[in-house]
Amino acid sequence: MSLLTILEFPDPRLRTTAKAVDDINDGIRSLVDDMLETMYHAQGIGLAATQVNVHQRVIVMDLSEAGDQPMVLINPQIEVLGDETCPHQEGCLSVPGFYETVQRPEHIRVTALDRDGNAFELLPDGLLAVCIQHEIDHLDGKLFVDYLSPVKRQRIRTKLEKLSRHAD
């Protein structure tokens, strides 16, 4: 396993739409393992392949306190159930250091494949529902900052660009 580089906003590669995984093989399983290692190392709870510059529909997550309940969603699809939305504070490994409130659908249905290609369905709520929606957004080239006002989004962009320049 190896650590992958996490792209940071405003990197244009984060806007790439991921393609469906055609074959769950050792290469995909290796990607999943590397993504989990990268997510745990970065102290995140979710990571989409797009964030590590791999444009395939793969997500890893672990919402457990101990970091011992990894979840894998390959080719996830989401269906919104109902009109209710709820606000949640979100952060992102690709937008480090920033947390903002985002409104998202409260009830969703998710279908996906696991690490071995087995189909499953979830009816998540709370943080799990938010995390899945956030990560699927990444696969579609969207970031949580896109839900913010243009002024807030630009302020975050400017601060991250400035930090990036000082890091070089």
- Tell me, yes or no, if 37 is annotated catalytic: no
Across residues 112-136, what is the average pLDDT? 96
Question: How many whole angstroms separate alpha carbon 77 and alpha carbon 112?
Answer: 6
Where are the alpha helices (H) located in 10-120, listed in sequence order? Answer: 26-41
Judge whether 134 and 144 are in contact, CB under 8 Å.
yes
Residue 166: the pLDDT is 75
Residue 168: the pLDDT is 61
74 Cβ contact partners less than 8 Å away, ≥ 6 residues apart: 21, 24, 28, 57, 58, 59, 112, 113, 114, 115, 117
Across residues 116-134, what is the average pLDDT? 96
Residue 29: the pLDDT is 97
Residue 80: the pLDDT is 96
Question: Which pLDDT band, with edges at 50, 70 and 90, does 153 fall under?
Answer: very high
Whether the per-residue pLDDT at 167 is higher than 80: the answer is: no
Residue 1: the pLDDT is 78
Question: Which pLDDT band, with edges at 50, 70 and 90, does 163 fall under?
Answer: confident
What backbone torsions phi and psi does residue 121 show, to the nearest 5 degrees? Answer: -130, 145
Question: Which pLDDT band, with edges at 50, 70 and 90, does 165 fall under?
Answer: confident
Residue 57: the pLDDT is 98
151 Cβ contact partners less than 8 Å away, ≥ 6 residues apart: none
Across residues 102-125, what is the average pLDDT? 96
Annotated binding site for Fe cation: 92, 134, 138
pLDDT tens track for 1-33: 799 999 999 999 999 999 999 999 999 999 999
Among the options 37, 79, 121, 135, which is catalytic?
135
Percent of residues, the chain, with pLDDT higher than 90: 92
The mean pLDDT of the chain is: 95
Residue 136: the pLDDT is 98
Q: Which long-range contacts (CB under 8 A, 24 or more apart) does 67-75 make?
A: 67/40, 70/36, 72/32, 72/114, 72/115, 73/110, 73/112, 73/113, 73/114, 73/132, 73/135, 74/21, 74/24, 74/28, 74/112, 74/113, 74/114, 74/115, 74/117, 75/20, 75/21, 75/112, 75/113
Torsion (CA) 94, 100, 101, 106 in degrees, nearest 10 = 10
Annotated binding site: 92, 134, 138
